[in-house]
Structure 1
Amino acid sequence: MNSASLVHVLERTISSDKNERQTAQQYLEQGMHSNTPEFIKALSDVLANSGNSAVVRMAAGLQIKNALISKDQIVKEQLQQRWLAFTEDTRQYIKGNVLKSLGTETRMPSSAAQCVAFIAVIELPLGRWPDLINILCSNIINDASSDNLQQASLEALGYICQDVDFNCILVHSNNILTAIVHGMRKGSSNHYVGFAATTALFNSLEFTKANFEKEMERNYLMEVVCEATQFKDPQIRVVALQCLVKIMSLYYEYMDTYMAQALFPITMEAIKSNIDEIALQGIEFWSNVCDEEISLAMEDNEEDFGQPSSSMSRSYAKGALQYLVSILMQKLTQQEEFDDEDEWNPSKAASVCLLLLVSCCGKDILTYVLPFVKDNIKHPDWRYRDAALLAFGSVLRGIEEEVLKSVIENAMPTIIELMYDSSVAVRDTAAWTIGQICENAAESATNPVFLKSLLEAMVHGLKAEPRVAANVCWAFVELAKGSYDDASVHDSTNEPTTYCLSQYFDFLVEKLLETTARPDGAQAKLRLASYEALMEMIKNSPRDCYPTVQKTTLIILERLNHILAVGDVQQRYDRAEMINLQGLLCATLQSVLGKVKSEDAPKISDQIMTALLQMFISNSEQAGNVHEEAMRAVTALIEVLGEKFIKYMDSFKPFLLSGLKNHSEHQVCLASVGVVADLCRELKVGIMPYCDEVMTLLWQNLTDSAVHRSIKPQILSLLGDIALAIGPAYEKYLDVVFTILVQASQIQVDRDDYDMVDYLNDLRESILSAYSGIIQGMTTEKTVSPMEAHIPYILEFIKTVAIDNDINDDVTCACVALIGDLCTVFRSQIVPKFDMNVINNILHQARRSSITKTKNYGRWVTRELRKLTRPSW
C-alpha cells in the first residue's frame, strides 16, 4: 500500500458510512498482518508528514499505538516481543519519525506523544533508547522550542512517568523535574503547556521521594504546585490540586511546614469554588488527610509492631474540624432532587468526607454537626432538610452508642416524620439515616416508644420510589441483625425464643415478599435489596417466628418452580432478568433452609432437590451466578438433611462433577468444592463410591495452570476432609496426595506483594489442614505405617511455616493443630524428630494469640508435649 493509498484508507476510518469504516479497518488489519514492520514504518511516515490532515495523522498515530499496546496483558507482551523483533534500522526509523512529529500536530492531545511513550514503555526497561529522556527534557527547557513542541514533549514525558517503572528513569529524575517545573512556570502565560506540565508532575510524584527528602528542593516543588492552584485556567488548577492530594498521601510526614500557610487556605478556598471539579479536589484533599490519619492511628494501636511508627499523626483533620465541617455542610445543601446516582459531585464527596472525619475525629465532630442538624432538619427548603438528615446519619458511624442515645431519641420522631416528606430526596435520605441508626445504635431503633411508628414508616417506604424502597430494605437488614443480637438467650441453643420484632414478623415478611415482586424492581437494584432484606429477616429470626419461616420456604419454592415452568424467554433482557431472579430465589432458599428444623426438612426436600436439579438442567454454564447459588442451596440442604441426603447423590452427581470442571466460572467451581466438603462431613463413608471421580477432577484442577488460584487452597483442604470421611480407604490416594502437598508447600511468592503473601498463607493453612485431616482419618494400627515415610516432609514444612515472620493467626492455629495431631497419633516416637526450638517458638506464639481458638490449641498441644516428654518413674 503506497502512501497515497494509506492516507485514503485512514481518511475512511472516520467516515459516516459504516461500510466504508469497516472496509478501511479490514485494509489496515491486512496491511498490519502482511508486513508489520514496513506497515508501521509507512504509518509513521504519514504521522510525520505535516502536509497530511490532522484527522489522518491522528488516525495513523492510533494505528501505531494499537500495534504497540493492549489492555490484555498476554496480548500486550506479544506486541512488545513483536516490536523488539524488528531490525534495529526499522525501530530507529519509526522512533525518528514519531520524535520528529512532536510539536507539529494541530490537534491535542498529541498522537505522536502517545506513540513515543508506548515505544518507551517497551524499550526503557531494557536499557534501550537511552537519549530519549534528555531529548524530551531539552525540547521543554529550550527557549527556541515552540509552545506546541514543549506541550507535546511534556505530554510524552507525563505518559512515560505514568506507565514506565520509575526505577528505569530514576537516574533522570532531576532533569525530568527541572523540565516539568519549567513548563509549569510557563503555565500562567500558556495554559496548554502548563496543563501538560502539571499533569506530568502528577504522574511523576512517586519517584520524587529523594527530592521531597531535601528541604530546599521540597520547598521549591511545593511553591510551584501551590502557585499552579492559583492560575486562572481551571484545568491547571484541578490538576495542581490533584498533585496536592497525591503529595499528602505520599509525603504526609513533610507537610507540617506548609499546612497552615498554604495547604489549608488553598484547599478551603477550593472547596468553596463554584466549579465542581475544583471543589471535588479540595474535598478529596481532606478525605485523604483523614485516610492517612486513620491509618496512622491504627498503626499506633497495633500491639504487634515491634518498633515505633516511622510517621506520627499531626491531627490536621482535628485542627481543621470547626472550619471544614461548616463548609462541607454548605456543600451538602447543593444537591439536586434527581441527581444521577453514578455521578460524583461535591455534595456526595462532602458526605463521604464527613464520614471519614467521624472515623478520624470521633465525637468531637458532634459539636459542629448537631447545631446544623437542629437548625435545618425542618427547614422550608428541602435541600437543607436533606443535608441535615445526611449530616446526622453520617456522624452515627464510629461514635459510641451511649454518646448518641439521647441525641437519637430526641431526633427519632422527626426522622420518622420525614419518611413522609414531599421530597423524594428527603425520604430517600431519611430511609438511609434510619438504616444508619439500626446499624450503629440498634438499641435506640428498637426502643418500644418508637418501634411501632418506625415500622409503619418503613413499611410505607417499601411502596415508595425504588431508590427510597431500596434504602428501606437496607434498613430492614440492619434492624433484623440488631434486634436478633440484642435478644435474650435463655438456653444452650444460642437462639432466642422471641425478640422485639416477633409480633410484627409475619406482616413484615409479607410486605418484603410483595416488594420483591414489584414490577419496577430492576430500578435502584430494589429487587436485590428486598430479597437481601428478606434473607436477613429469616436468618435473624427467633424460635417463635418459625411458622413464618415454614410458610416462606414454601412460597420461595413455589416461586422457583413457577420461574422454571416459564421456560426459555426469547428476549435477551427477559432471559437475563430470569437468571438473576433464579439466583436470588436460590440465595433466599439457603437462608430459609438454614432455619428449617431437621425433622421438618425431609417433608420438603424432594420438592427442593427436584427444583434445584431442574435449574442445573435448564441453565447453561454461562449462567454462573445461578449455578453458584444453586450449589450453595444444595449445601444448605445437605446441612439440614445430614446423611439423609444420600438418596439424591446419584441424580446430583453429574452436576457436581460438572461444577468441579467449570473453570471458566471459578465461583461455581469453588461452590462445588464446598459442596464436596459438606458431603464428606455429613455422609462420611457414604461419599466413598463417588471419591474416584471426584479425586481425579481435584488432581486435574490442582495441576492445571488455567484454574483460578483461589480454588487451589480450598481443594488442598478438601483432600483432608475426604480422608476424614473415608478413613483407611484413603490409602490408595495417599502417595499421590502427599506428592501434591509437598509440591504445593514449595511454592514461593513475591514478599513485596501483600496479596500474594495473603495467598501463600491461605495455601499453607490448607496444606496444614489437609495433613491434619489425613493423619486423623487414617489413625489405625494398619495405616500408620504407610504414613511414616511422609513424616520428614511434614516436619520440614512445619519448620518452614513456623520460622516465617509473615504467617497470620490462621496459619499459626493450623500449624499448632497439626503438631497436636502428630503427638496424638505417633506419641513419644515423634518427639525426637521435632526441632524443639521451632516447636516451642510457635507454641509460644499460639498461647499469646488474641484469638481464643489459637490460644486454646497452643495450650492443649503444650500440655500434650509435656506429657510425652515427662520422664516415666
Structure 2
Amino acid sequence: MTVEQAAQQMLTVLETTVSQNPNDQKQAMDYISATCQRDFPMFVKCLSLILRSEQCQSYVRQAAGLQLKNVLYSKDIETKSQYLQRWLQLDEPSRQDVKQNVTGTLGTEPSRPSIAAQCVAAIACAELPHNLWPEVISRLMDNVTNQQSGEMLKESSLETLGYICHDIDSKVLEVRANDILIAIVHGMRAGETSVHVRLAATNALLNSLEFTNKNFEAEQERNIIMQVVCESTNNPDQRCKVASLQCLVRIMQLYYDYMLNYMANALFQITLHAMRSEEAEVAMQGMEFWSTVAEEEFELTLVYEEELERGNQAYRNKSQRFVEQAASHYVPVLLNAMAHHDDCDDEDDWTPSKAAGICLMLTAQCVKDDIVNYVMPFFVHFTSQDWKFKEAAIMAFGSILDGPDPKKLMPLAQEALPAIVEAMCDKNVSVRDTAAWALGRVIDTCPEVVANAELLQKVLPALSSGLHQEPRVANNVCWTLVSLVKACYELAVSNGTDASGQPDTFALSAVFDAMIQELLKITERPDGNQSNLRITAYEALMELIKHSPKDCYQAVRNTTVVILKKLETLLQMEEQATSESDKAQVRDLQAMLCATIQSVTRKLADSDLPQVGEHIMKGLLQIMQRASITKSTTVMEEALLAVSCLAEHLGKNFIVYMDVLKPYLLQGLSNVEEAQVCAAAVGAVTDLSRAIEKAIAPYLDEIVELLIKCIQSPKLDRNVKVIIIGTFSDIAMAIETNFERYLQMVVQILTEAQGAAIVVDPNDLDQVDYVDKLRDACLNSYTGIFQGFKVENIQASRDSIGRFIKPMIELILVSSQLQPIPPSDSLMATTAGLIGDLVNLYEQQIVPMLNVEPVISMLAKARKSKKSKTKSMATWATKEIKRFSKTDPTFNFNR
C-alpha cells in the first residue's frame, strides 16, 4: 500500500473520531492505536500528509495533528523517553518526510492555536539535543522576519519557538539564542500590526529567558530586549499586556543585578500603573512583580547577614533596595486592592486582593519597621461599617507582622487585639475568617500577649464560638488555638521546669480538657471535609497534646482511648466507602490519627505505657494490614512512624510485638518506589535497634539484606540511602560483636559510598549538601561499628577494629578538607568524635596518621564553632592527639 492509499484510509478513520456514536469513536481509536503499533513509519507519514493537506477539512487536519503530537510527546517522563527513542530509530528519509510536512503546514491552518506548531516542536525537542535538524530554528526565524510571511505563518512559527523553549533543556538552545531572540523581538515590535503575532512572540520570550543570559550580559542587546518588553506592556490587548508583565517578573527573577537603570526609567511606573489597573490579571502581575523583587531582596539580605556572621566583613549587600525606595508609593495601592473584592469570591481563586496581601507580607519583611508607617493610616478601618475595608484592615495588620521588631510591635498588637477579637463576632464571614487568622498571627509574632490574663478571658470565648462557625472560620480558629497553646506552654517553661522539661501547669490548664473535647467534636462535624477542617482539627489536637503540662495529663490519657476507637471506626468507614474520593478522605484521616497517636505516646507516663501500648499496637497493626491491602502509602508511613515512637518509649518491652510487626516492616523496606514509606521503615529499624538492643538480632538477616538491596536500588531516593547508611550504626551498637556477620558487606557499602562522595561540584548546592550528609552518615556508621566492637580487652578491641581502620582513616582525611568545600558543623563533630575514639583506643600508634594538616586545621575550625557539640568534640579530639603525640607508633594496621 502506498503512503497516499494509507493516508486516504486514515482520513476516513479520522473523520470517525468525531462521530456522535461512541462505538464508532472506539473503533476509530482502536484502529489508530493498532496502526501505530504495526507500522509506525507509515503511520506518522500518513498523519503528517493529512495535516498538511489544505484540501482536507479543518477538523480532520486538527485530528491528524493531534494524533501525531500524541505519539511524539508525553508529559510522563518515561513515556516521553520511549517516544523519543522510537522517533530517533526511524530511518532518515521517513523523518525528513514528516518534518517537511509539519513545517510546511505552519501558516496554512485556519484555526488557532496551531497543532502543527506542537508537532514541529515535539520533533525539534527530540532531535536538537542530538545535533539533528539544526536548521529548524533558522527556518522559524526566517518565517517570522520575512516580509512576505503572512500573519498565520509568523504566529505559528513563534508559537513553535515558544513550545521548543519551554520543553527543551535550556543548554541546548544557548548557541541558537540570537536567532530565537531576533524572531521574538521582530514579532514583539510596535510596528507589528497583528495582536496574535505579538502575543505569540511575547509568550515565546517568556519561555526563552532561561537561556538568554549572554544576551542580558551585553548591555546593547539587553536594552533592546527591555525596550520591546516595556513597550509591549502598553499594548491595548489584555493578553499581550499580561504576558509582557509576566516577562518582566521572570526577568527580575533571573537578571535582578542588571535592573537598576531600568527600574528608575521604566519598570517602577509600568508596574505601579499595572497594579492600579481595573483588569484583574494585569493588576496581579504588577503585584507579582513587586512580590518577586521583595523575595529577591530579602534573600540577598539574608545572605549578607550570614556572611557578616561568618566574619566576612568585606562582603557587600547585593540588594539594590528597590522595595525600600518604592514601598511608600505602592503599599497604598496594595491596601486599596485588599479592600476591593466580593464576598462570593471562591476561596481557591487567586484574586488581586489575595495577591496584594502576599505582596504586602513580603514587602514588610524587606522594609521592617518602616512598614508600620505606611500601613498605620489604613488601620482606621478596623471600625469601618464597610465590611470590605474592615476585613482589609485586619488582613493588613496580620500581613505586616513578620517585618517589624516584635518589641516595637508589642504595643501595637495589644492595642489592636481587642478590635480583632471583637471582629470574630462580625456578621460577615470574611471578616470573622480574617480576624481568626490575624489573631493567630499576632500570638505567633508577639507570644508575650498571652501573659495578659484579662486578654485571655476575652480570647477564649471568641475562639470557642469560632470553632462552631463556618468551616473556613473554624479552620483558622484551630491554628490560632495552636499558637495560643504553644505561647502559653513556652511562657510556663520559661518560668521553670523539673528534669522532665515539662511545666507543672500553664495558663490554659483549667480549660485544656474542654479544648480537647471541642476539637474532638470538630472532627465529627458533617461539614468537616470543607476547608480541610477535619484534618486541621486533628493537627491542632496533636499540637495541644504535645504542648500539655503535667496537670493536663489525664486529658491526654483519655484522648488516647478516643483516638483508638476512632481508628476502629475509620477502618469500618473505609470498607463502606464507595467513591474513590470518600476512600481517600478516610485514608487521610487514618494517617492523621496515626500521627496523633505519636503525640499521645510521647506524653504517656511510663506506668501507663505497657497497658495502653498494647491497645495502640493492636490498632496500628489493623491499620497497617488495611494499608498494605489498599496500598495506602501515606497511612503506612504514619503507622510505621507511630510504631517507632511506641518502640522508643516501651524499650525492651516492645520485643513481644516483633513477630507480628515483622511482615509490615519488611514490606516497608521493600517499597523503594515510595521513598517516604521506605524511610519510615528504615527509621523504625533504627528505633527498634535502640529499643530492644540485642533482642533484634534474630530479625536482622532479612532486615540487613533488604537495607543493602535498598542502597543498591536505582529507584530509591538517594537521601533515603544516606539514612540507611546511618542506620548501620544503631544496628552495630545494638548487637555489638554479633555485627561480625554483616561487617564485610557493610564496610564494602561504606567504602563504595565514600568513594562516590569524592567528586563534588561546589556550585551545586544540593550535591554539596548531599555529599556532606553522606560522609556524616558513613562516619556515624564507622563510629557505631567501632563502639560495638570495643570490648573490655583493649588488645582484642585493637585487633578487631584494625581490620577496617584503613577506610575510616581515609574518610576522616577526606571529610577534614576545608577546601574547596568546608564540612558542616555536624560533619566536623562526627569526624572529631571518631578521631577521639581512635586515638583513645590506639594511643600513640595512630597519632601520626591523624596529626596531619587537614585534620589539625579542621579541628581548629571546629573548636571555634558556635555549636556546643562540635566545639566539645573537637576540643576532646585535639587533647587526645596532643596526649599521645610523643611516642613512635608500633602497631601494624594492615594485618
TM-score, normalized by the shorter chain, greater than 0.5: yes
TM-score (norm 1): 0.96
Q: Is 1:777 aligned with 2:784?
A: no
Cα displacement (A) at 1:567: 7.2
Q: 2 CA distance for matches of 1:464 and 1:607?
A: 35
Structure-1 residue corresponding to 2:130: 126
Cα distance in 2 for residues equivalent to 1:843 and 1:546:
46
- Distance in 1, Cα, partners of 2:865 & 2:172: 43
Aligned equivalent of 2:556: 549
**Of 218, 221, 225, which aligns to 1:217?**
221
Give the CA deviation at 1:324: 0.8
Hey, what does 2:84 align to over in structure 1? 80
Give per-residue Cα distances to partners, 1:230-254, cap 9 Å, x unaligned.
Answer: 0111111111111111111222122
Match of 1:661 among 643, 652, 670: 670
- Pair 547,311 (structure 1): closer, same or farther in 2 beyond 3 Å: closer
- Mapped to 2, the partners of 1:276 and 1:7 lie a distance apart of 44
| CA distance in structure 2 between the partners assigned to 1:667 and 1:29 by the alignment | 37
**Equivalents in 2 of 1:669, 1:72: separation in Å?**
24
Shift of 1:386: 0.8
Distance, in Å, in 2 between the alignment partners of 1:835 and 1:83 is 60
- The answer to whether the aligner puts 1:579 opposite 2:587 as a matched pair is yes
Matched, 1:794 2:808: yes
Distance 1:614 1:179, change over 3 A: closer
Pairwise CA distance, 1:610: 1.7
- Matched ranges for 1:127-206 at <5 A: 127-185=131-189, 189-206=193-210
| Cα offset, 1:336, TM superposition | 2.1
1:821 aligns with 2:837: yes
**Cα distance, 1:566 vs structure 2:** 6.0
Q: State the Cα distance separating 1:484 from its structure 2 match.
A: 1.3
Once residues 447 and 750 of structure 1 are traced to their aligned partners in structure 2, the CA distance between those partners, rounded to angstroms, is 54
State the Cα distance separating 1:768 from its structure 2 match: 1.3
In structure 1, what residue type is equivalent to 2:575? Answer: D
Which region of structure 1 is more displaced relative to structure 2, 11-20 or 857-866? 11-20
CA contact (8 A) 1:621 1:627 kept: no
AA aligned to 1:847 is: R
Give the counterpart letter for 1:536 in structure 2: E
Does the 8 A contact of 1:702 with 1:715 survive in 2?
Answer: yes
Q: Say whether 1:361 aligns with 2:367.
A: yes
Residue 381 (1) aligns with residue 381 (2):
no
Q: What's the secondary structure of 2:369's corresponding residue? A: helix
Q: 1:738 aligns with which of 740, 743, 747?
A: 747
2:412 to 407, 412, 420: 407
* Equivalent position to 2:565, from 544, 558, 574: 558
Which deviates further from its counterpart, 759-768 or 117-126? 759-768
Identity level (%): 42
For structure 2, list consecutive stretches of 5 or more residues without a partner in the other structure. 889-895
In the alignment, which residue of structure 2 is the partner of 1:269? 273
Alignment pair present for 1:342 and 2:342: no
Paired residues of 1:587 and 1:633 also in contact (CA < 8 A): yes
Which residue pairs with 1:510 in the alignment? 517
- Distance in 1 between residues matched to 2:344 and 2:446, nearest whole Å: 30
Separation of aligned partners in 2, 1:79 and 1:835: 57
Does 2:111 match 1:107? yes
Secondary structure, in 3 states, of the residue corresponding to 1:143?
Answer: coil
- Residue in 1 aligned with 2:432? 427
Deviation of 1:181 after TM superposition, in Å, equals 1.2
* Counterpart AA for 2:715: A
2:575 alignment partner, SS class: coil
Query: Does the 8 A contact of 2:640 with 2:681 survive in 1?
Result: yes
Query: What is residue 453 of structure 2 aligned with on the other side?
Result: 448
What SS does the corresponding residue of 1:340 show, helix, strand or coil? coil
Report what 1:610 is aligned to. 618
In the other structure, the counterpart of 1:500 is: 507
The equivalent position to 2:377 in structure 1, one of 337, 358, 371, is: 371
What whole-Å deviation, never above 9, does each CA across 1:446-501 have from its counterpart, x for those lacking one? 42121011011001000000110000001111112221112122433321111111
Residue 676 of structure 1, CA deviation: 1.4
Describe the shift of the 1:168–1:561 C-alpha distance in structure 2 as closer, same or farther (beyond 3 A): closer
Deviation of the 1:55 alpha carbon? 1.6
Residue 307 of structure 1 and its aligned partner are, at CA, apart by: 9.0
The aligned residue for residue 491 of structure 2 is: 486
- Deviation for aligned residue 1:362: 0.5
Q: CA deviation at 1:561?
A: 3.4
- Structure 2 CA distance for partners of 1:758 and 1:267, relative to 1, 3 Å: same
Residue of structure 1 aligned with 2:608, choices 600, 605, 611: 600
Q: Normalization by structure 2: what TM-score?
A: 0.94
Q: 1:416-460 CA deviation, whole Å, 9 max, x = no partner?
A: 111111011111000100110121111114421210110110010
Q: CA deviation at 1:353?
A: 0.4
**Letter of the aligned partner of 1:335 in structure 2?**
H
Deviation at 1:306, TM superposition (A): 6.0
Verify the 8 A CA contact 2:573 2:586 in the aligned structure 1: no
Q: Distance in 2 between matches of 1:654 and 1:206?
A: 49
Note closer, same or farther for the CA distance 1:786–1:10 as it changes in structure 2 (3 Å cut): farther
Deviation, 1:186, is 5.1
| Alpha-carbon contact 1:778-1:784 (below 8 Å) kept | no
Deviation per CA, 1:568-602, whole angstroms, max 9, x where unpaired?
21513443333222222211111111111112212
What is the match of residue 846 of structure 2? 830
Question: Please, which runs of 5 or more residues in structure 1 have no aligned partner?
Answer: none
Q: Take 1:294 and 1:8, find their aligned partners in 2: how far apart are those partners?
A: 61
C-alpha distance in structure 2 between counterparts of 1:239 and 1:567, whole Å: 46
**What CA distance in whole angstroms lies between the structure 1 residues aligned with 2:783 and 2:341?**
58
Question: Quick one: distance in 1 between partners of 2:813 and 2:439?
Answer: 52
Q: Tell me which residue corresponds to 1:757.
A: 768
Q: Are residues 203 and 614 of structure 1, via their aligned partners in 2, closer, same or farther at CA, if it must alter by over 3 Å?
A: closer
Match of 2:480 in 1: 475
User: 1:670, 1:714 within 8 Å by CA — same for their partners in 2?
Assistant: yes
Q: Paired residue for 2:263, among 259, 265, 277?
A: 259
Q: Work out whether residues 437 and 477 of structure 2, in 8 Å CA contact, stay in contact via their aligned partners in 1.
A: yes
Deviations 1:497-538 (A, max 9, x none): 111111221111111111112121111110111111111011
> CA-to-partner distance for each residue in 1:61-102, whole Å, 9 max, x for gaps?
222222222222222222212211111111111111111111
Cα deviation digits, residues 537-557 of structure 1 (max 9, x gap): 110011111121122122222
Q: Aligned letter for 1:436?
A: R
> RMSD of the TM alignment (CA)?
2.0
Separation (CA, whole Å) in 1 of partners of 2:807 and 2:736: 21
Q: For residues 646 and 740 of structure 1, do their structure 2 counterparts lie closer, same or farther at Cα, with a shift above 3 Å needed?
A: same
Equivalent residues in 2 for 1:616-655 (5 A)?
A: 616-619=624-627, 620=629, 622-655=631-664
Q: CA deviation at 1:857?
A: 1.6
- Deviation at residue 783 of structure 1 after TM alignment: 4.9
Specify the alignment match of 1:854 in structure 2: 870
Whole-angstrom distance in 1 between the partners of 2:155 and 2:586: 53
Instruction: Quickly say closer, same or farther: Cα 1:527–1:838, change in 2 above 3 A.
Output: same
Answer with 420-429 or 147-156: which moved more. Answer: 147-156
1:766 and 2:777 equivalent? yes
| Partner SS for 1:302 | helix
1:438 aligns to what?
A: 443
Once residues 214 and 710 of structure 2 are traced to their aligned partners in structure 1, the CA distance between those partners, rounded to angstroms, is: 47
- The answer for the alignment partner of 1:23 in structure 2 is 27
For the Cα contact (< 8 Å) 2:190–2:231, is it kept in 1?
A: no
Instruction: Report the more deviating stretch, 812-821 or 378-387.
Output: 812-821
Output the CA distance in 2 between the equivalents of 1:567 and 1:351. Answer: 40
Write the distance in 2 (CA, Å) between the matches of 1:444 and 1:145.
70
Superposition pairs of residues 711-722 of structure 1, within 5 angstroms: 711-722=720-731
Q: Does 1:51 align with 2:55?
A: yes
Counterpart CA distance in 1 for 2:617 and 2:218 is: 70
Partner of 2:329: 323
Deviates more, 1:400-409 or 1:817-826: 817-826
- 1:783-808, CA deviations, whole angstroms, 9 ceiling, x for partnerless residues? 54243132122211222222264443
Instruction: Work out the number of aligned pairs and report it.
Output: 871
Greater shift, 648-657 or 464-473, is seen at: 648-657
For residues 140-185 of structure 1, give each alpha carbon's deviation from its aligned partner in whole angstroms, at most 9, with x where no partner exists. 1111111111111111122222223333333332232222111111
Q: Displacement, 1:311? A: 7.1
1:460 partnered with 2:474:
no
Residue 17 of structure 1, CA deviation: 3.2
Q: Which moved further from structure 2: 181-190 or 228-237?
A: 181-190
Instruction: Answer yes or no: is the 8 Å Cα contact 1:184–1:228 preserved in 2.
Output: yes
Secondary structure of the 1:758 match is: helix
Please tell me whether residue 729 in structure 1 is matched to residue 733 in structure 2: no
Tell me the distance in 1 between the aligned counterparts of 2:814 and 2:116: 53
Deviation, 1:871, is: 6.1
**Residue of structure 2 aligned with 1:591, choices 589, 599, 604:** 599
